[in-house]
Amino acid sequence: MNKVTVVGSINLDTNLRVKRMVKPGETIHAKEHYSAGGGKGANQAVAAARAGAQTTFIGAVGNDAPGKQMLELLENEGIDLTGIATLANESTGQAFITVDDEGENAITIYAGANFGFGPAEIEAKSDLITGSDFVIAQFETPIPATTKAFEIAQAAGVKTILNPAPGEDQISADLLKVTDMITPNETEAETITGIRVVDEASAKQAADRLHEMGVAVVIITIGAKGAFYDYDGTSELVPAFKVKAVDTTAAGDTFIGAMSSVLKPDFTNLKDAILFGNKASSMTVQRYGAQPSIPYKKEIQL
């Protein structure tokens, strides 16, 4: 069983289902409204835990009702919460998600407590990191905190996985030099490298640029086409499973969390782990909501 530690965001999601996306200055009716657990970090942790990993979380919530709700949700997943701080002067992160009839989404996030911790708080939880097989982080929490977590991980021989979302056109060299694997989608890959990813050839070009930046393992997720990987002289597009998507929220998070649950730290089963992540992600897009849509290990049959 892999030990996975996620350093990341915790949000309470407010979801709206609509026929189509609203235009500027327009008012439309929603078909459905509901709340659910979210945040890229929390989604990835839930996906890893449900896929069988021993999962730990480092992050923060506010001392408010959404924070208590999110801690209860994560605890119910069997996730170790000893690394989550409750901050008295911050509100819990929130996300406002609109999903249309085509399954596309638009998301606005408010960071709140997710930006309320830094390198010192990470240092205080270093034992949670050094006891892991993988440490995963995203860009919904402070970069200095992520960099410190990855530095601690690499010094202990723990592999690091960076999900560069939301996209940033400038990623610090200090962070990239302690990143073992990077997992952008095609849009994020273009933001980082300047190379538009539309097929395997352009994905290879983007991967080469990311290698030049210092990252050994590159996985670029390309929506319904699948996931392209490039590592140690081998590259391939692993096709996605063909399904009818109703909500793409948390699809990428599910992929990363599920993949990390079965990936070997020496990356020798990288393609098989990607295939497992693809299958998990294909199930997520057939359901509504972020964490409610994430499948369990027994459902992910290859």
252 marked ligand binding residue: yes
Q: Quick check: is 302 in a domain? A: no
CATH number, domain with residue 178:
3.40.1190.20
Positive or negative CA dihedral for 171, 59, 125, 44? negative
CB–CB of 271/236 below 8 Å?
yes
Q: Distance between CA 216 and CA 270 in Å, rounded? A: 13
For tokens 């009702």, the residue is 65
What is the pLDDT, as a whole number, of residue 102?
87
* Strand-strand pairing, 54-62 and 3-7: parallel
76 marked ligand binding residue: no
Q: Distance between CA 124 and CA 121 in Å, rounded? A: 5
What is the pLDDT, as a whole number, of residue 296?
96
Q: Distance between CA 281 and CA 43 in Å, rounded? A: 12
Q: At what angle do helices 251-262 and 270-284 cross, to 10 degrees?
A: 140
Q: Quick check: is 103 in a domain? A: yes
pTM of the model: 0.93
CB–CB of 10/61 below 8 Å?
yes
106 marked ligand binding residue: no
118 marked ligand binding residue: no
Q: Quick check: is 301 in a domain? A: no
Q: Quick check: is 44 in a domain? A: yes
The DSSP code for 185 is B
Within a 10 A sphere around the Cβ of 121, how many other Cβ atoms?
A: 17
39 marked ligand binding residue: yes
Tally of domains within the chain: 1
Q: Quick check: is 159 in a domain? A: yes
225 marked ligand binding residue: yes
CB–CB of 142/118 below 8 Å?
yes
The alpha helices in 162-250, defined as continuous H runs, are 173-176, 186-193, 200-212
Q: Quick check: is 242 in a domain? A: yes
Amino acid 268 reads T
167 marked ligand binding residue: no
What is the pLDDT, as a whole number, of residue 155?
98
Nearest alpha carbon to residue 255 among 273, 236, 230, 281: 281
Domain that holds residue 283: 3-293
Q: Distance between CA 177 and CA 173 in Å, rounded? A: 6
Q: Quick check: is 212 in a domain? A: yes
Q: Distance between CA 255 and CA 276 in Å, rounded? A: 8
Strands (DSSP E) contained in 151-290 are 159-162, 181-182, 217-221, 226-231, 234-239
For the annotated catalytic residues, the residue numbers are 253
Q: Quick check: is 299 in a domain? A: no
What is the pLDDT, as a whole number, of residue 87?
97
Q: pLDDT in tens for each of the 302 residues of the chain?
A: 999 999 999 999 898 999 999 999 999 999 999 888 999 999 999 999 999 999 999 999 999 999 999 999 999 999 999 999 999 999 999 989 898 998 888 889 899 999 999 999 999 999 999 999 999 999 999 999 999 999 999 999 999 999 999 888 789 999 999 999 999 999 999 999 999 999 999 999 999 999 999 999 999 999 889 999 999 999 999 999 999 988 888 899 999 999 999 999 999 999 999 999 999 999 999 998 889 899 999 999 87
